[in-house]
Amino acid sequence: MFVGALAAALVLTGCNSGDSGTGGADGSPAKLTFAIASAVIGPKEEVAAYAVAQELGYYAEENLTVETINTDGSVAALQAVASGSANVTAADSGSVLGAVEKNVPVKAVGGLVQNWPWVMAVKPDSPIAGGADLRGKKIGVISLASGSAPYARAYVRAAGLDPEKDVELLPVGVGAPAATALNGGQVDALALYTQAYAVMESTGTQLKYLTNPDSLTGIRSLSWAVSARSFDESTDVNTRFLRASYKAMLFSAKNPEAAMRIGYKVFPQILGGQSAESRIEADTKSLVAWLKTATPATGTPEEFPDWGAISDQEWNKTMAYTKEAGQITGDVDLGEVWDPSLLSGANEFDKAAVLQQAGSYTAN
């Protein structure tokens, strides 16, 4: 299905979206399209990276114009990048591995979510205490094309169950639909990321979390990915995009409330018709929960090391997980998947200046 949909998209599009060089001949900005791998309903990378970079002029400083499209999960986002209907995405690293194994021309160029964000949750009074108890149960996932589906499969497989026979995966989305599915009994458990649970808990849903097996620790989640063609032809543009994004992430880590207010301005649909003041406390907590997975596990923003690095050990652990989840059938050449050569340039910015801006920023 992945290959068929991608092949059709490649025939229809045939080239990258936007300007593949440093900008127009007249010095106009390079135009990029960022494929967000979900609908914009809560604070994640679309707030901490995109909205902040857009509103504070980080893209403009890099001579970039960046717009967004929404897709249904990481696989669809990678399809958009490979076909040329988008230039860059933040996709599940396992989905990147799966795409490359199928000869889809994409490449990971920088890390984003560094700490494993996925966890299984049930209602507080549920008798389910671990993976073995999920036999015959229904597990809610964001969509069958999202990273939550392979996570759910790997979780039950680690408990000795067959994910194709012993459980049923049902797409429930995130936010209110996921909470309704769990509370209403349509599913027995949810396989979501920590920030999505923070949103649910802020609206009154109570949850019990199941412990992940050791095999699911040390795995990378989201990584920035571009098309292989873009990597070869648009090195400078991609570096500038990463630099603006990491600056925005540092700003958000230092002042998450300001980042959240900026997110409301750029993506007002997050508010769902409510006032910013009625939402800001809960949404800031939600953003902080997400940032904990997308920033180094130790230290403060002032102490964070360079952004985007992924070690070979982390990639190998991620590859082992991806095989366990059934996304790939064998080892994939990391040289085809991952190239960190842009990260040196992406980290060439004044971190002290960004921290000072974040510390003194007042939303209009």
To which residue do tokens 């127009």 refer?
24
Query: Hey, what amino acid is at 354?
Result: V
Does the structure show a pLDDT above 60 at 14?
Answer: no
Residue 217 binned pLDDT confidence (cut-offs 50, 70, 90) = confident
Residue 82 binned pLDDT confidence (cut-offs 50, 70, 90) = very high
Q: Which range is most confident: 37-46, 266-275, 339-348?
A: 339-348
Predicted model pTM: 0.80
Closest CA to 324 of 92, 1, 94: 94
Query: Hey, what amino acid is at 187?
Result: V
Does the structure show a pLDDT above 90 at 195?
Answer: no
pLDDT of residue 296: 79
How far is 54 from 194, CA to CA, in rounded Å?
25
Tell me how many degrees the CA angle 201-203-208 measures, rounded to the nearest 5: 25
Region 173-188 average pLDDT: 95
Does the structure show a pLDDT above 60 at 19?
Answer: no
In 151-216, the DSSP E strands lie at 168-171, 189-193, 208-210
Does the structure show a pLDDT above 50 at 327?
Answer: yes
Quick one: 43 exposed, middle or buried, by C-beta within 10 A (0-12, 13-18, 19+)?
buried
Q: Which helix (H) or strand (E) holds 336?
A: helix 334-337
DSSP state of 311: -
Using DSSP bridges, classify how beta strands 106-111 and 168-171 pair: parallel, antiparallel or unpaired: unpaired
Q: Looking at the DSSP assignment, which residues form a beta bridge with residue 89?
A: 35, 225
Q: Tell me how far CA of residue 300 lies from CA of 110, 190, 350, in angstroms.
A: 21, 31, 16
Residue 299 binned pLDDT confidence (cut-offs 50, 70, 90) = confident
How far is 193 from 248, CA to CA, in rounded Å?
21
Number of H helices, E strands in the chain: 17, 10
Model confidence pLDDT, tens digit, residues 39-81 = 776 789 999 999 999 999 999 999 999 999 999 889 999 999 9
Q: Tell me how far CA of residue 102 lies from CA of 1, 324, 327, in angstroms.
A: 11, 17, 10
Residue 22 binned pLDDT confidence (cut-offs 50, 70, 90) = low
To which residue do tokens 């097996």 refer?
213
What is the token pair recorded at 109? 């160029």
Neighbours of 243 (CB within 10 A): 26
Model confidence pLDDT, tens digit, residues 273-290 = 999 999 999 899 889 988
How far is 298 from 136, CA to CA, in rounded Å?
39
Residue 15 binned pLDDT confidence (cut-offs 50, 70, 90) = very low
How far is 337 from 89, CA to CA, in rounded Å?
14
Q: What is the DSSP string of 181-192?
A: HHHTTS-SEEEE
Q: Which helix (H) or strand (E) holds 122?
A: strand 118-122
Say how many Å lie between the first and final Cα of the chain, rounded: 46
Does the structure show a pLDDT above 60 at 5?
Answer: no
Using DSSP bridges, classify how beta strands 138-141 and 168-171 pair: parallel, antiparallel or unpaired: parallel
Look at 11-25, 81-95, 217-231, 323-337 and tell me which has the smallest mean pLDDT: 11-25
Q: Which helix (H) or strand (E) holds 290?
A: helix 276-294
Supply φ then ψ for residue 89, to 5 degrees: -150, 160
Tell me how many degrees the CA angle 197-182-285 measures, rounded to the nearest 5: 15
Residue 187 binned pLDDT confidence (cut-offs 50, 70, 90) = very high
Q: Tell me how far CA of residue 288 lies from CA of 147, 160, 260, in angstroms.
A: 21, 34, 10
Of residues 167 and 27, more confidently modeled: 167
Look at 18-22, 45-49, 151-155 and tell me which has the smallest mean pLDDT: 18-22
Region 21-39 average pLDDT: 78
In 136-216, the DSSP E strands lie at 138-141, 168-171, 189-193, 208-210
Model confidence pLDDT, tens digit, residues 91-148 = 999 999 999 999 999 999 999 988 788 999 999 999 999 999 999 999 999 998 888 8
pLDDT of residue 325: 80
Query: Hey, what amino acid is at 196?
Result: A
Model confidence pLDDT, tens digit, residues 219-241 = 898 999 999 999 999 999 999 99
Structural domains of the chain, with CATH: 2-115+220-360 (3.40.190.10), 118-216 (3.40.190.10)
